[in-house]
Amino acid sequence: MKIETKCVQGGYVPGNGEPRQLPIYQSTTFKYDTSEDMGKLFDLEASGYFYTRLQNPTNDQVAKKICELEGGTAAMLTSSGQAANFYAVFNIANCGDHVVACSAIYGGTYNLFSVTMRKMGIDFTFVSPDCTKQELDAAFKPNTKAVFGETIANPALTVLDIELFADAAHRHGVPLIVDNTFATPVNCRPFEWGADIVTHSTTKYMDGHGSGVGGCIVDSGKFDWTKYADKYPGLCTPDDSYHGIIYTEKFGTGGAFITKATSQLMRDFGSIQSPQNAFLLNLGLESLHVRMQRHCENGQKVAEYLSGNDKVLSVSYCGLPGDKYHHLAEKYLPNGSCGVVSFRIKGGRAAAEKLMKNLKVASIETHVADARTCCLHPASATHRQMNDEELVAAGVYPDLIRYSCGIENADDLIADLQQAFDKI
């Protein structure tokens, strides 16, 4: 099936006489006839549901759809994109380990890595999205366990050279984790370029209507953990909390990563998505391909308008032929990138704030990437914790505005921007 059909029909397939729409299993718990039946679930000897903190059938059907969209072997939903990125890294990196991450990433992820996970004893080296093969190689250490980057960085809008990062990761015997939130599998499937694990904040385009915070992790099933068994003891040696099962032995390369994340991390941290939110996410996914097309058309038109505006210092949108990442976009995002356009305004922080105050169609929101156009000044919001040097390294200048084109008519968005520019 093509991606459009998978958006609509992937995941849940009703049997004869069953509901056409995905049922919401609004139940914390599941019933069994004998304690023996239940014991098998606790031993991971049988698959099934027992408590929604770990797994819920509604969530699993939606994860299955995203898994099909990305072309993976297993997937799980999480309560947020933050939880997805935390689980994806923490599933294979422990205290004393090290991770190489692209510096152009979402502010929340940067904070998670550079502050919170460092407190847990995991070290991170941040590399420029424009680094060379040699610079990338130099970032690895003997205790490196993963490489992390975003297909299209939020909000810097740099495009990750997925093959370059995947090759470096694989030369050093570690997987590449790609946060594919902005591109969505409609526009890029990182597994096709060598990525091993994909994460999403489903809060953005996948939900698409600003209705539910959520996340997802998908495993490509391609990374052979057993080849580097000494590096990944969590996947390749017995888990005492499940009577000594070995994830790679019992669930294979295609299932080990997600089973471990579910049975250990979800069990212990409980960042489960509510089945209600998973239902809404599934509705969003059904129109993802249609919406992405309009988001990209609007993004292109707004980016072109901004490039011709003399009050604008620069525009970042990889769909513009002059954009620094246009050549990478042609390779990895041939059908379009996303609806988010970043631009720097002349007159610094003050001008940025004034322009935004005068917008009427676009509202100021921390949110991004949904049906309604919204905008944000990252330096005073999502990236507030960074100093000026870190802001520049992340591609987030103090005069930068992140403008997220919704699916309205582009002429209205441009007229709104024009009247706001006229006031400064």
Ligand X SMILES: *Cc1c(COP(=O)(O)O)cnc(C)c1O
Judged by the rule CB under 6 A, the positions of this chain that interact with ligand X are 80-82, 85, 106, 108-109, 150, 154, 179, 181-182, 201, 203-204, 213, 215
Q: Which residue lies nearer to ligand X by CB, 80 or 248?
A: 80
CB of 331 to ligand X, least distance (A): 20
Count other Cβ atoms within 10 Å, centred on residue 383.
Answer: 25
Q: Which residue lies nearer to ligand X by CB, 205 or 343?
A: 205
Q: Which residue lies nearer to ligand X by CB, 160 or 312?
A: 160
AA identity, residue 42: F
> Which neighbouring-strand residues pair with 314?
344
DSSP letters of 228-289?
GTTT-HHHHS-BGGGTTB-HHHHHHHHHHHHHHIIIIIIHHH--PPPHHHHHHHHHHHHTHH
CB of 288 to ligand X, least distance (A): 15
Q: Which residue lies nearer to ligand X by CB, 106 or 113?
A: 106
- Among the listed residues 202, 228, 198, 229, the one whose alpha carbon sits nearest the alpha carbon of residue 215: 202
CB of 80 to ligand X, least distance (A): 3
CA distance 336 to 87: 29
CA distance 75 to 58: 13
> Tokens 């901004």 label which residue?
306
CB of 351 to ligand X, least distance (A): 25
CA torsion sign, 354 to 359 to 365 to 368? negative
Helix (H, G, I), strand (E, B) or coil at 353: helix
Count other Cβ atoms within 10 Å, centred on residue 366.
Answer: 9
Task: Tell me phi and psi for residue 245, to 5 degrees.
Answer: -70, 150
Cα distances (angstroms) measured from residue 116 to each of 77, 92, 422: 22, 16, 43
Give the pair of three-digit tokens for residue 292: 């992405």
Task: Tell me phi and psi for residue 381, to 5 degrees.
Answer: -130, -95
CB of 106 to ligand X, least distance (A): 4
AA identity, residue 127: V
Q: Which residue lies nearer to ligand X by CB, 55 or 79?
A: 79
Nearest residue to ligand X, scored by beta-carbon proximity: 81
Q: Which residue lies nearer to ligand X by CB, 87 or 106?
A: 106
CB of 79 to ligand X, least distance (A): 8
CB of 272 to ligand X, least distance (A): 14
Q: Which residue lies nearer to ligand X by CB, 213 or 356?
A: 213
AA identity, residue 178: V
Q: Which residue lies nearer to ligand X by CB, 201 or 248?
A: 201
CB of 68 to ligand X, least distance (A): 21
DSSP letters of 49-97?
-SBTTT--HHHHHHHHHHHHHHT-SEEEEESSHHHHHHHHHHTT--TT-
CB of 332 to ligand X, least distance (A): 16
Cα distances (angstroms) measured from residue 229 to each of 22, 173, 206, 234, 238: 39, 10, 35, 9, 12
As a three-state string, the secondary structure of 105-131 is: CCHHHHHHHHHHHHHCCCEEEEECCCC
Q: Which residue lies nearer to ligand X by CB, 72 or 215?
A: 215
CB of 284 to ligand X, least distance (A): 13
Q: Which residue lies nearer to ligand X by CB, 38 or 364?
A: 364
